[in-house]
Amino acid sequence: MHLFDAATRFYGGNAIVGGGLPLAVGLALADKLQGRQRVTACFFGDGAVAEGEFHECMNLSALWSLPVLFLCENNRYAMGTAIERYESETDLSLKASSYEMTAWSVDGMDVLAVEEAAHRAAAEVRDGSRPVFLELRTYRFRAHSMYDPDLYRAKDEIERYKQHDPIPALIERLRTDGLISEEDVGGLERSIAEEIEAAIEFAEAGTFEPVEDLERFVYWEGSPV
Protein backbone atom coordinates (compact mmCIF):
# COMPACT_ATOMS: atom_id res chain seq x y z
CA MET A 1 0.00 0.00 0.00
CA HIS A 2 2.97 2.34 0.30
CA LEU A 3 4.87 1.81 -2.97
CA PHE A 4 5.80 5.23 -4.35
CA ASP A 5 8.13 6.50 -7.05
CA ALA A 6 7.90 10.17 -7.98
CA ALA A 7 10.59 9.73 -10.65
CA THR A 8 8.19 7.62 -12.72
CA ARG A 9 5.12 9.64 -11.63
CA PHE A 10 3.74 6.70 -9.65
CA TYR A 11 2.18 8.34 -6.64
CA GLY A 12 1.41 5.31 -4.60
CA GLY A 13 -1.30 2.92 -3.57
CA ASN A 14 -3.71 3.76 -0.80
CA ALA A 15 -5.27 1.67 1.94
CA ILE A 16 -8.32 3.94 2.02
CA VAL A 17 -11.05 2.96 -0.45
CA GLY A 18 -11.12 5.69 -3.07
CA GLY A 19 -8.18 7.43 -1.41
CA GLY A 20 -6.31 7.81 -4.69
CA LEU A 21 -9.08 9.85 -6.31
CA PRO A 22 -8.47 13.21 -4.58
CA LEU A 23 -4.71 12.73 -4.99
CA ALA A 24 -5.17 12.31 -8.73
CA VAL A 25 -7.34 15.42 -8.92
CA GLY A 26 -4.70 17.39 -7.00
CA LEU A 27 -1.91 16.21 -9.31
CA ALA A 28 -3.94 17.10 -12.39
CA LEU A 29 -4.72 20.53 -10.95
CA ALA A 30 -1.01 21.12 -10.33
CA ASP A 31 -0.20 20.11 -13.91
CA LYS A 32 -2.84 22.46 -15.28
CA LEU A 33 -1.73 25.42 -13.15
CA GLN A 34 1.90 24.89 -14.19
CA GLY A 35 1.07 24.42 -17.86
CA ARG A 36 2.31 20.83 -18.09
CA GLN A 37 0.73 18.67 -20.80
CA ARG A 38 0.16 15.52 -18.81
CA VAL A 39 -2.55 12.96 -18.13
CA THR A 40 -3.06 11.66 -14.61
CA ALA A 41 -4.40 8.08 -14.68
CA CYS A 42 -6.28 7.01 -11.57
CA PHE A 43 -7.20 3.35 -11.02
CA PHE A 44 -9.87 2.31 -8.51
CA GLY A 45 -12.48 -0.38 -7.98
CA ASP A 46 -16.24 -0.27 -8.24
CA GLY A 47 -16.51 -0.10 -4.44
CA ALA A 48 -14.86 3.33 -4.52
CA VAL A 49 -17.79 4.68 -6.53
CA ALA A 50 -19.92 4.42 -3.39
CA GLU A 51 -17.55 6.73 -1.48
CA GLY A 52 -18.15 10.44 -1.07
CA GLU A 53 -14.77 11.44 -2.48
CA PHE A 54 -15.68 9.81 -5.79
CA HIS A 55 -18.50 12.30 -6.33
CA GLU A 56 -16.44 15.22 -5.07
CA CYS A 57 -13.62 14.34 -7.47
CA MET A 58 -15.92 13.79 -10.46
CA ASN A 59 -17.51 17.17 -9.82
CA LEU A 60 -14.30 19.16 -9.32
CA SER A 61 -12.41 17.56 -12.19
CA ALA A 62 -15.25 18.36 -14.58
CA LEU A 63 -15.84 21.83 -13.12
CA TRP A 64 -12.15 22.76 -13.37
CA SER A 65 -11.53 20.87 -16.66
CA LEU A 66 -8.71 18.78 -15.24
CA PRO A 67 -6.72 16.24 -17.32
CA VAL A 68 -7.61 13.09 -15.37
CA LEU A 69 -8.32 9.65 -16.79
CA PHE A 70 -10.49 7.81 -14.28
CA LEU A 71 -10.20 4.02 -14.75
CA CYS A 72 -12.75 2.05 -12.76
CA GLU A 73 -12.06 -1.69 -12.56
CA ASN A 74 -15.59 -2.96 -12.00
CA ASN A 75 -15.36 -6.59 -10.90
CA ARG A 76 -18.96 -6.54 -9.58
CA TYR A 77 -18.01 -6.96 -5.92
CA ALA A 78 -16.89 -4.40 -3.35
CA MET A 79 -15.00 -6.89 -1.20
CA GLY A 80 -17.95 -9.16 -0.39
CA THR A 81 -20.90 -7.03 -1.50
CA ALA A 82 -22.45 -7.43 -4.94
CA ILE A 83 -22.82 -4.20 -6.89
CA GLU A 84 -26.61 -4.59 -7.01
CA ARG A 85 -26.67 -4.37 -3.22
CA TYR A 86 -24.80 -1.07 -2.84
CA GLU A 87 -25.46 0.89 -6.06
CA SER A 88 -28.93 2.08 -7.08
CA GLU A 89 -27.51 2.71 -10.57
CA THR A 90 -25.21 -0.15 -11.59
CA ASP A 91 -24.17 1.45 -14.89
CA LEU A 92 -21.14 3.26 -13.50
CA SER A 93 -20.27 5.04 -16.74
CA LEU A 94 -23.78 6.51 -16.75
CA LYS A 95 -23.25 7.70 -13.18
CA ALA A 96 -19.97 9.40 -14.15
CA SER A 97 -21.50 11.01 -17.24
CA SER A 98 -23.93 12.87 -14.98
CA TYR A 99 -20.97 15.08 -14.07
CA GLU A 100 -20.76 16.29 -17.68
CA MET A 101 -17.71 14.25 -18.63
CA THR A 102 -17.13 11.71 -21.39
CA ALA A 103 -17.70 8.24 -19.95
CA TRP A 104 -18.16 4.78 -21.40
CA SER A 105 -17.72 1.10 -20.59
CA VAL A 106 -15.53 -1.55 -22.15
CA ASP A 107 -15.22 -5.32 -21.79
CA GLY A 108 -12.46 -5.56 -19.21
CA MET A 109 -11.92 -9.22 -20.10
CA ASP A 110 -10.81 -8.29 -23.62
CA VAL A 111 -7.18 -7.13 -23.58
CA LEU A 112 -7.25 -5.58 -27.04
CA ALA A 113 -10.55 -3.80 -26.40
CA VAL A 114 -9.10 -2.32 -23.21
CA GLU A 115 -5.96 -1.19 -25.04
CA GLU A 116 -7.99 0.54 -27.74
CA ALA A 117 -10.34 2.19 -25.22
CA ALA A 118 -7.43 3.38 -23.07
CA HIS A 119 -5.68 4.96 -26.07
CA ARG A 120 -8.88 6.68 -27.11
CA ALA A 121 -9.60 7.93 -23.59
CA ALA A 122 -6.07 9.22 -23.00
CA ALA A 123 -6.11 11.01 -26.35
CA GLU A 124 -9.40 12.68 -25.47
CA VAL A 125 -8.02 13.87 -22.13
CA ARG A 126 -4.93 15.32 -23.85
CA ASP A 127 -6.83 16.96 -26.69
CA GLY A 128 -9.53 18.51 -24.57
CA SER A 129 -7.87 18.91 -21.17
CA ARG A 130 -11.01 17.39 -19.74
CA PRO A 131 -11.56 14.36 -17.50
CA VAL A 132 -12.67 11.05 -18.98
CA PHE A 133 -14.18 8.08 -17.13
CA LEU A 134 -13.54 4.56 -18.43
CA GLU A 135 -15.33 1.62 -16.81
CA LEU A 136 -13.53 -1.72 -17.26
CA ARG A 137 -16.14 -4.43 -16.70
CA THR A 138 -14.23 -7.41 -15.40
CA TYR A 139 -14.41 -10.14 -12.74
CA ARG A 140 -12.12 -11.62 -10.12
CA PHE A 141 -11.83 -15.39 -9.94
CA ARG A 142 -10.48 -15.59 -6.43
CA ALA A 143 -11.54 -14.26 -3.04
CA HIS A 144 -10.88 -10.62 -2.14
CA SER A 145 -8.05 -11.68 0.18
CA MET A 146 -6.61 -14.72 1.91
CA TYR A 147 -8.97 -14.05 4.83
CA ASP A 148 -12.07 -13.95 2.63
CA PRO A 149 -14.09 -17.24 2.70
CA ASP A 150 -15.80 -16.15 -0.55
CA LEU A 151 -19.26 -17.34 0.52
CA TYR A 152 -21.21 -14.46 -1.01
CA ARG A 153 -21.34 -15.74 -4.60
CA ALA A 154 -22.17 -19.01 -6.32
CA LYS A 155 -19.34 -21.22 -7.50
CA ASP A 156 -20.99 -21.70 -10.88
CA GLU A 157 -20.91 -17.93 -11.36
CA ILE A 158 -17.13 -17.99 -10.93
CA GLU A 159 -16.75 -20.89 -13.35
CA ARG A 160 -18.95 -19.11 -15.89
CA TYR A 161 -16.75 -16.03 -15.85
CA LYS A 162 -13.60 -18.16 -16.06
CA GLN A 163 -14.73 -19.09 -19.56
CA HIS A 164 -13.87 -15.48 -20.46
CA ASP A 165 -10.41 -15.40 -18.85
CA PRO A 166 -8.56 -12.64 -20.74
CA ILE A 167 -5.15 -14.36 -20.75
CA PRO A 168 -6.02 -17.56 -22.67
CA ALA A 169 -8.38 -15.50 -24.86
CA LEU A 170 -5.51 -13.20 -25.86
CA ILE A 171 -3.16 -16.13 -26.45
CA GLU A 172 -5.72 -17.75 -28.74
CA ARG A 173 -6.21 -14.47 -30.61
CA LEU A 174 -2.43 -14.14 -31.12
CA ARG A 175 -2.25 -17.74 -32.32
CA THR A 176 -5.10 -17.20 -34.77
CA ASP A 177 -3.46 -14.07 -36.14
CA GLY A 178 -0.13 -15.89 -36.51
CA LEU A 179 1.63 -13.56 -34.08
CA ILE A 180 2.74 -16.23 -31.62
CA SER A 181 3.62 -19.94 -31.74
CA GLU A 182 3.27 -22.76 -29.22
CA GLU A 183 7.01 -22.51 -28.62
CA ASP A 184 6.67 -18.81 -27.90
CA VAL A 185 3.88 -19.44 -25.39
CA GLY A 186 5.88 -22.13 -23.60
CA GLY A 187 8.98 -19.94 -23.44
CA LEU A 188 7.00 -16.98 -22.11
CA GLU A 189 5.35 -19.09 -19.41
CA ARG A 190 8.73 -20.47 -18.34
CA SER A 191 10.32 -17.03 -18.17
CA ILE A 192 7.41 -15.72 -16.06
CA ALA A 193 7.67 -18.67 -13.67
CA GLU A 194 11.42 -18.12 -13.34
CA GLU A 195 10.96 -14.40 -12.70
CA ILE A 196 8.38 -15.08 -9.97
CA GLU A 197 10.61 -17.70 -8.35
CA ALA A 198 13.58 -15.33 -8.39
CA ALA A 199 11.48 -12.58 -6.79
CA ILE A 200 10.34 -14.94 -4.02
CA GLU A 201 13.90 -16.08 -3.34
CA PHE A 202 15.09 -12.47 -3.25
CA ALA A 203 12.36 -11.50 -0.78
CA GLU A 204 12.94 -14.49 1.50
CA ALA A 205 16.69 -13.83 1.55
CA GLY A 206 16.19 -10.20 2.50
CA THR A 207 16.43 -8.66 5.95
CA PHE A 208 13.83 -6.74 7.91
CA GLU A 209 14.06 -2.97 8.08
CA PRO A 210 15.60 -1.73 11.35
CA VAL A 211 13.06 -0.67 13.97
CA GLU A 212 14.52 2.85 14.09
CA ASP A 213 13.41 3.34 10.47
CA LEU A 214 9.79 2.48 11.26
CA GLU A 215 8.56 6.07 11.01
CA ARG A 216 10.80 7.19 8.14
CA PHE A 217 9.02 8.78 5.19
CA VAL A 218 5.76 9.02 7.11
CA TYR A 219 6.13 12.79 7.42
CA TRP A 220 8.08 15.33 5.37
CA GLU A 221 11.77 15.12 6.22
CA GLY A 222 13.15 17.81 3.95
CA SER A 223 13.79 21.47 4.61
CA PRO A 224 10.85 23.92 4.73
CA VAL A 225 9.86 25.31 1.35
Instruction: Report pLDDT digits (tens) over 158-215.
Output: 999 999 999 999 999 999 999 999 999 999 999 999 999 999 999 999 998 899 988 8
> What's the distance, CA 149 to chain centroid?
24
Three-class DSSP category at 141: coil
Q: CA-to-CA distance for 181 and 174, rounded, in angstroms?
A: 8
Does residue 77 lie in a domain region? Answer: yes
pLDDT, mean of residues 47-74: 97
pLDDT, mean of residues 84-106: 96
* Torsion angles phi and psi, residue 174, rounded to 5: -65, -35
pTM over 0.85: yes
Does residue 216 lie in a domain region? Answer: no
Does residue 222 lie in a domain region? Answer: no
Does residue 78 lie in a domain region? Answer: yes
* Torsion angles phi and psi, residue 106, rounded to 5: -140, 155
* CB-CB contact of 94 with 137 (8 Å): no
Calculate ∠ Cα 193-149-78, nearest 5°: 85
Number of domain units in the chain: 1
Does residue 46 lie in a domain region? Answer: yes
Q: CA-to-CA distance for 68 and 122, rounded, in angstroms?
A: 9
Does residue 161 lie in a domain region? Answer: no
pLDDT, position 63: 97
Does residue 123 lie in a domain region? Answer: yes
pLDDT, position 24: 96
Write out the residue range of the structural domain in which residue 57 sits.
6-142
* CATH number of the domain within which 20 lies: 3.40.50.970
Does residue 188 lie in a domain region? Answer: no
Indicate the average pLDDT of the chain: 94
